[in-house]
């Protein structure tokens, strides 16, 4: 599952990880210059003996970019790079501004590699709550970072795209706007992760533009994307609803109260855009569904 990550790591780190025989449990690999490598396994940490050097950071970026840092410059400017398999490498360092725009992050001193996992069937328990007959209900998935919202939305998309015989639900055409490449991880036109047979994917495009393009070009039944919240997202979502499509999105938050602090999301809730809100737990095990709210009676559990 983390083979693509091991390929971009220097051998002295990848070999150490392989020896531990725990790769299936790793959720993050944190590398900080002049510090030991730290593996995150769920909510637990494992500190390796290998030390990260500036050359370590450079070698990883060269491996990711196939020896052309310029090819991933835009990703670096955004603070992360997504590699094959949907794994996300977060970047921190010294930001360079030109005309009030980020032009580079230099002297990169830390990398956080987040392991993408495809967990087939992880949406099984929640699907009956967000499907009514052969209709998908507009849904928002809410969780703190690293608690499984991307994994959950991926499995929901896969199942509603393929169809769900146990629920007598026929497969729907899904337009996936995968801005950061984490949901489907398209590589050379082929998804690395399974998002279903009726899913069309638009990658490397901002969510607002992607939604508008896909609705015009692909005539979807359902539009899906990760981590909404900006004003332009909300405008595009309202336009999508007016066009008659159903939607499923994710966003950061740890409670209904926390998402209401985002005025853009609050506007969508006031317009009754979403029928269901899925809240994931911030517990020791990622992906645990804490509650499914019916927005008609917020505060109650559907």
- The pLDDT, as a whole number, for residue 187 is 76
Q: With 0-12 CB in 10 A as exposed, 13-18 as middle and 19+ as buried, what is 45?
A: exposed
Q: Average pLDDT over the chain, rounded to whole?
A: 91
Residues 190-247 pLDDT 10s: 898 999 999 999 998 999 999 999 999 999 999 999 999 899 999 999 999 999 999 9
Residues 86-136 pLDDT 10s: 888 999 999 999 988 889 999 999 999 999 888 999 999 999 999 999 999
Q: How confident is the model at residue 155 (pLDDT cuts 50, 70, 90)?
A: very high
Task: Find out whether 272 and 295 touch, Cβ atoms under 8 Å.
Answer: yes
Q: Give which of 93, 113, 95 is closest to 104, Cα–Cα.
A: 95
Task: Find out whether 289 and 125 touch, Cβ atoms under 8 Å.
Answer: yes
Task: Find out whether 141 and 273 touch, Cβ atoms under 8 Å.
Answer: no
- pLDDT of 284 over the 70 cut: no
In the chain, where do the E strands start and end? 28-32, 36-41, 44-51, 80-83, 87-98, 101-114, 131-132, 135-136, 139-143, 174-178, 186-187, 190-191, 199-203, 222-225, 246-252, 276-280, 289-294
Rounded CA separation 181/86 (Å)? 6
- The pLDDT, as a whole number, for residue 300 is 41
- The pLDDT, as a whole number, for residue 252 is 92
Q: Which residues contact 132 (CB under 8 A, 6 or more apart)?
A: none
Q: Where are the alpha helices (DSSP H) in 140-275?
A: 149-162, 207-218, 231-242, 256-259, 263-270
Domains of the chain: 3-114 (3.30.450.90), 127-297 (3.40.50.300)
Place of tokens 């360092």: 93
SS3 193: coil
Task: Find out whether 29 and 37 touch, Cβ atoms under 8 Å.
Answer: yes
* Structure tokens that stand for 177 in this block: 């706007």
């Amino acid at each position: 599952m983390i083979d693509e990550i091991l390929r971009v790591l220097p051998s002295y780190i990848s070999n150490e990880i392989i020896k531990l025989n725990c790769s299936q449990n790793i959720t993050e690999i944190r590398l900080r210059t002049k510090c030991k490598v730290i593996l995150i396994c769920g909510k637990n940490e494992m500190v390796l003996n290998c030390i990260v050097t500036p050359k370590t950071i450079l070698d990883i970026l060269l491996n990711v970019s196939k020896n052309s840092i310029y090819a991933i410059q835009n990703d670096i400017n955004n603070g992360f790079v997504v590699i094959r398999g949907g794994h996300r490498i977060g970047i921190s360092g010294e930001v360079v501004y030109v005309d009030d725009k980020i032009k580079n992050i230099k002297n990169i001193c830390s990398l956080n590699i987040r392991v993408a996992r495809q967990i087939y069937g992880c949406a099984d328990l929640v699907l009956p709550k967000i499907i009514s007959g052969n209709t998908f209900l507009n849904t928002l998935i809410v969780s703190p970072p690293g608690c499984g919202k991307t994994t959950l939305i991926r499995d929901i998309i896969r199942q509603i795209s393929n169809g769900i015989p146990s629920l007598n639900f026929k497969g729907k055409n899904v337009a996936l706007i995968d801005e950061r490449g984490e949901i489907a991880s398209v590589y050379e036109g082929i998804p690395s992760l399974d998002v279903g047979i009726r899913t069309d994917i638009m990658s490397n495009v901002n969510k607002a533009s992607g939604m508008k393009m896909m609705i015009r070009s692909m005539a979807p039944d359902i539009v899906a994307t990760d981590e909404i919240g900006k004003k332009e997202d909300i405008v595009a979502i309202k336009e999508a609803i007016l066009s008659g499509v159903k939607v499923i999105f994710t966003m950061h938050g740890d409670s209904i109260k926390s998402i209401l602090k985002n005025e853009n999301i609050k506007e969508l809730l006031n317009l009754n855009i979403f029928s269901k809100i899925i809240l994931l737990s911030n517990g020791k095990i990622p992906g645990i569904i804490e509650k499914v709210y019916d927005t008609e009676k917020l505060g109650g559990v559907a």
